Structure 1
Amino acid sequence: MQADIFCRVVDNYGDIGVCWRLARRLAHDFRWDVRLWVDDLASFARIQPGIDALSPRQRHGGVDIVHWSDAPDPALTARDVVIEAFACDPPAAFVDSMHRTHPAWINLEYLSAEPWVESCHGLPSQRPDGLVKHFFFPGFTPATGGLLREPGLSAERDALQTSVPRQESFLRSIGVPDDALLLRRNGARTVSLFCYPAAPAPALVQALAADPRASVLLAPQGVAPGLDAACQAPGAPRLVRLPFVAQPDFDRLLWCADINFVRGEDSFVRAAWAARPLVWQIYPQDENIHLEKLEAWLARYPAPESAQALIRAWNQPETGLTASAVAAALAPAGWQAWAAAARQWDASQAALPDLAENLAGFCADLAKKR
């Protein structure tokens, strides 16, 4: 298959994070010829070293990368498959070229646990110009498109999680200093934090400071800037600021943590594959529609009520309940149940076909009907 994937960066790293993982998966494991169109190469470069933010055309990791500008190269026309990520609409000239090839046109939708997704997954939408677009929904059930997951991911994760020396070697390689590693070795909890600006990060620091177990808090540079001052208080967690890293290293970072605070879609799915407790900050939407989507996921996520209360508080900072919710979720009984639930959630989702596998099969079926 020859495919074009179109990505407009809205959520800084989530959109390109999903598209880059999908592009590599289709190119490497399914031997597709993939062109990835990206409008914001600067954000792309932060999560993938080697990307030139100023280059109109480049190749990286077996994928042809095109800067999606206002005036795209007219020579780049549609081929077998067109994937528009999150309803981003390909350029008009490119759509015109689709009338000649009639490719499998996929609208890769946002991830949702809402029940209606199952009935809409795979449905066609007939356009007045004769082209047909199909909706493809990632999800958590066999009736959806599944979640992105690379072959061998569980084995690689387990090998790292069962080896303290390997964890320390990795963490040192991305900038975690020796004093923080010593705290981990002596029993400190490792917390990774990747959040939106509205997250109640100071309340998290307050709760960790009050906990009898010490904590090491790992956060990307520039995220939650109030952390630096909050972590100066007595008993506060040891804050380590890390650079943005390539996606495989981000996965390993999540594997090394005891609990992962994540945001958006890409880091949420990767935290699930870490098989460790996670707190998801969902992308905020007008009229709090995102909270309905959060509840749909919580209805499926088997964590105890203390963990679910923390996830709700994290997404509603105005309630002021985050600090007390963190304390309750980290209490021994609740924590053990949450850790078991995280492993159960990973195993149940890993038993399903992954999104790239489902998508490749779906496009192959469409091609047979052309």
Structure 2
Amino acid sequence: MRATWDIFCSVVDNYGDIGVTWRLARQLVAEHGLAVRLWVDDPAAFVHLCPQADSRLLRQEQQGVEVCAWAADWHAVEPADVVIEAFACELPAVYIAAMAGREQKVLWLNLEYLSAEDWVEGCHGLPSMQSNGLSKFFFFPGFTSGSGGLLRERGLLTQRRAFQADEGAREDFLRRLGVEPVAGALLISLFAYENAALGRWLQVLAAGPQRVQLLVPEGRILSSLQDWLGGPALQVGDTRQRGQLHIQVLPFIPQDQYDRLLWSCDFNAVRGEDSFIRAQWAGRPLLWHIYEQADHAHLEKLDAFLAFYKEGLSADAQVALVALWHAWNSNGPIGECWTQLLKSWPEQTTHAEDWCLERASQADLAEALVQFYLNWL
């Protein structure tokens, strides 16, 4: 019989947590033939990622995954062979008790947030004994071979390179989103949290020597964009122009379409975890808006990633990259930093593809999870 997997997801930050777990669940089914239940405590958020889903249903099958509503009034179910507690969410007490009482042992995994910090490799795969006799193992996604890897479907890079090599496919995709490509423009996607630095960046783009087309999927950054533009409230489909800058608001789109948006653009500003990883697979220069944490702990995570990512760039290109990311995440002079980054643009572009290929040489997250289970057996 197929191994059964339960993935529990508590939606705490818009679509980041559900974005990661939904991708993982689909991949475990499609590529590893597993029986997967995805438990979601906010079905409405899931529908944004999977529009054909029905948020009113307690159980439904979508793309081979059994998607279940994780309600407060939990009804007892048979635990799976593998239980993934995504991003430190707390499993129902009744479910944990059933895990402890199950005749066949259960592998309990705490899937952690992504980090490039040094301590990750030392903690990855470690068990934590629980009072009920169960062991919970910490599983850390990461950028090195000593971590759990990154979400990446088989053939993803082959699909991406074929798409990017076909200008007609790119233009057709954009037009299906209602976007008419601006001739000769640098194409940028913007998906971020609210950011006070945005206006300074947009001002430089608007006054620059090159046309820029900015595509903004519906999300939290729209409030900051509205503050800079002024005028009527922005709606999906709206376009605005300021100097050389052409802006268009896009609808919130399913994950596969968002991947192609990233592939279509010359530069991608992304946020959180899911879009951050997908932008790296796009092989294009990127800008990460990391989720803010207390005591500026997020900046340590930002610098840990930059220490890896900047390797291979020239000294000037490294300085420009780090300055831009710090300005974006600390309300700094991002306009000036953007101007400096453009001076090393060809190098930044080549480096983004090289980084992508190097990360793709490692096992992906789904593969690493399955192998961990097999080793545990």
Give the equivalent residue in structure 2 for 1:154.
157
Question: Aligned partners of 2:153 and 2:261: how far apart in 1?
Answer: 17
Residue deviations 1:263-307, cap 9 Å, x none?
A: 000000000000000000111000100000000000000252212
How many aligned residue pairs are there?
Answer: 356
Give the equivalent residue in structure 1 for 2:111.
108
Question: Aligned partners of 1:199 and 1:348: how far apart in 2?
Answer: 34
Matched letter for residue 42 of structure 1: A
Give the equivalent residue in structure 1 for 2:277.
269
Equivalent of 1:312 in 317, 326, 329: 326
Residue deviations 1:37-87, cap 9 Å, x none?
A: 00111111112211212221111010001111101221x221200000011
Question: Aligned partners of 1:236 and 1:72: how far apart in 2?
Answer: 55
Give the equivalent residue in structure 1 for 2:130.
127
Give the equivalent residue in structure 2 for 1:85.
86
Matched letter for residue 147 of structure 1: L
Give the equivalent residue in structure 1 for 2:225.
227
Question: Aligned partners of 2:186 and 2:227: how far apart in 1?
Answer: 20
- The answer to whether residue 301 in structure 2 is matched with residue 293 in structure 1 is yes
Corresponding residue SS for 1:4: strand
Give the equivalent residue in structure 2 for 1:3.
5
Question: Aligned partners of 1:234 and 1:12: how far apart in 2?
Answer: 30
- CA 1:330–1:151: 2 relative to 1, 3 Å: same
Corresponding residue SS for 2:85: strand
Corresponding residue SS for 1:299: helix
Question: Aligned partners of 2:290 and 2:194: how far apart in 1?
Answer: 12
Corresponding residue SS for 1:241: strand
Q: 1:206 touches 1:236 (CA, 8 Å); kept in 2?
A: no
Give the equivalent residue in structure 1 for 2:35.
33
Deviating more after overlay: 25-34 vs 93-102: 93-102
Q: 2:219 touches 2:252 (CA, 8 Å); kept in 1?
A: no
Give the equivalent residue in structure 2 for 1:339.
349
Deviation at 1:164, TM superposition (A): 1.2
Question: Aligned partners of 1:157 and 1:205: how far apart in 2?
Answer: 28
Equivalent of 1:322 in 325, 331, 334: 334
Q: 1:80 touches 1:103 (CA, 8 Å); kept in 2?
A: yes
Q: 2:290 touches 2:298 (CA, 8 Å); kept in 1?
A: yes
The TM-score normalised by the length of structure 2 is 0.92
Q: 2:163 touches 2:169 (CA, 8 Å); kept in 1?
A: yes
Matched letter for residue 250 of structure 2: L
- The answer to whether residue 265 in structure 2 is matched with residue 257 in structure 1 is yes
Q: 1:200 touches 1:314 (CA, 8 Å); kept in 2?
A: yes
Matched letter for residue 252 of structure 1: R
Give the equivalent residue in structure 1 for 2:369.
359
| 1:156-175 matched pairs, under 5 angstroms | 156-175=159-178
Give the equivalent residue in structure 2 for 1:136.
139
Question: Aligned partners of 2:373 and 2:203: how far apart in 1?
Answer: 50
- Structure 1, gaps ≥5 residues long: none
Matched letter for residue 81 of structure 1: V
The TM-score normalised by the length of structure 1 is 0.93
Corresponding residue SS for 1:90: coil
Deviation at 1:224, TM superposition (A): 2.1
Matched letter for residue 20 of structure 2: V
Q: 1:228 touches 1:239 (CA, 8 Å); kept in 2?
A: no
- CA 1:159–1:81: 2 relative to 1, 3 Å: same
Q: 2:191 touches 2:219 (CA, 8 Å); kept in 1?
A: no
Question: Aligned partners of 1:223 and 1:252: how far apart in 2?
Answer: 21
What is the Cα-based RMSD across aligned positions, in Å? 1.3
Q: 1:48 touches 1:245 (CA, 8 Å); kept in 2?
A: no
Residue deviations 1:130-184, cap 9 Å, x none?
A: 00000000000000000000011111101111111100111111221x3xx1x1x
- Structure 2, gaps ≥5 residues long: 230-239
- Structure 1 residue runs of 4+, over 6 Å off? none
Question: Aligned partners of 1:171 and 1:233: how far apart in 2?
Answer: 18
Q: 1:57 touches 1:67 (CA, 8 Å); kept in 2?
A: yes
- CA 1:99–1:222: 2 relative to 1, 3 Å: closer
Matched letter for residue 7 of structure 2: I
Corresponding residue SS for 2:73: coil
Q: 1:205 touches 1:236 (CA, 8 Å); kept in 2?
A: no
